């Protein structure tokens, strides 16, 4: 017979698994036309504001959205660090040169949004150049 501690262990473990499945999901709905329009318009505005208009990239994003099935996908960031970090001149970090600090800022800004939306970092490999 299971002891009370053993039962509690399995109940807690099962509950944590259900919570994880609820948070993660792994599948969803296709983007609505309203979501697509909002996303593309926001992307275009940001690109224009930063002087980085790129029709080829926008076509790629449109193709990605058109083939969206609502299921999960995997994103791989293959980051090649610069010798010296490069920020826009009006950035509060424009005098900062350490590429690892730039990466840390990127991760600090990205991870909360990633986790909030059911994403997570599977692994991270730091390699020497």
In angstroms, the CA 8 to CA 4 distance is 6
pLDDT at 16: 94
Encode the chain (129 residues) as per-residue pLDDT tens digits. Answer: 678 788 899 999 999 999 888 777 666 788 888 988 898 899 999 898 888 888 899 899 988 888 888 877 777 777 788 899 988 889 999 899 999 899 889 889 888 988 887 777 776 666 655
pLDDT at 5: 83
pLDDT at 128: 58
What SS3 class is residue 71? strand
Sequence length of the chain is 129
Contacts of 26 (CB under 8 A, 6+ apart): 71, 72, 118
- Across-strand partners of 27? 71
- The domain ranges of the chain are 28-73, 74-129
pLDDT at 26: 64
Q: pLDDT digits over 105-127, tens only?
A: 988 988 898 888 777 777 666 66
In angstroms, the CA 37 to CA 48 distance is 16
Q: Which of 62, 28, 29 is nearest to 43 (CA)?
A: 62
In angstroms, the CA 68 to CA 3 distance is 48
Phi and psi, residue 57, nearest 5°:
-65, -45
């Amino acid at each position: 017979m299971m002891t009370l501690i053993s039962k509690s262990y399995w109940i807690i473990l099962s509950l944590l698994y259900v919570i994880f499945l609820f948070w993660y999901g792994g599948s969803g709905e296709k983007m609505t036309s309203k979501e697509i329009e909002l996303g593309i318009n926001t992307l275009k505005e940001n690109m224009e504001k930063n002087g980085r208009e790129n029709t080829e990239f926008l076509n790629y994003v449109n193709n990605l959205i058109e083939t969206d099935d609502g299921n999960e996908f995997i994103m791989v960031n293959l980051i090649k660090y610069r010798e010296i970090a490069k920020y826009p001149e009006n950035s509060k970090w424009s005098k900062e040169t350490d590429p690892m600090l730039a990466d840390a800022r990127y991760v600090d800004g990205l991870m909360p949004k990633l986790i909030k939306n059911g994403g997570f970092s599977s692994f991270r490999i730091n390699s020497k150049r």
